Amino acid sequence: MSSMSDYLENKVIDHMLRAQAYTPPATLYLALFTASTGLEANNPTAEVSGGGYARQAITLSAASGGATSISAAIEFPEATANWGTITHCALVDHETNTSWGTNVNVLLADALADSKTVDSGDVLRFKAGEIDLTFA
């Protein structure tokens, strides 16, 4: 995952180059999407919803060489309805809020290497190290 949202790009620029305070979120969450629409602009329109879906908290390993990865496996709850084909994921700064740009923000987003169709009864898992975050 290496695509910063416009929101995060602006926060980094303001913080690093203009000495504007930015407090990073205490917890990061992985969100799933069925399309990339609006992710970069911090106004996504295709987050999975319903059917037992919930964003999952993540932990990251120490950065090295401008990169990090998830340090523990992430398991989404069992789908109680079809979620569709998951094509993208994003790190976001709130567990449940849905007013994008107001009380929840996309930080980083990218396409999955392989899309995954999640049907009722499926459990989507990512192994530790399976999601990489790179700043280049």
pLDDT of residue 105: 97
Residue 22 has pLDDT above 80, yes or no: yes
75-108, pLDDT tens digit by residue? 999 999 999 999 999 999 999 999 999 999 999 9
37-81, pLDDT tens digit by residue? 999 999 999 999 999 999 999 999 999 988 999 999 999 999 999
Domain boundaries, the chain: 3-134
The confidence band for 134, taking pLDDT boundaries of 50, 70 and 90, is: confident
Tokens of 17: 């180059």
Q: What is the pTM of this model?
A: 0.93
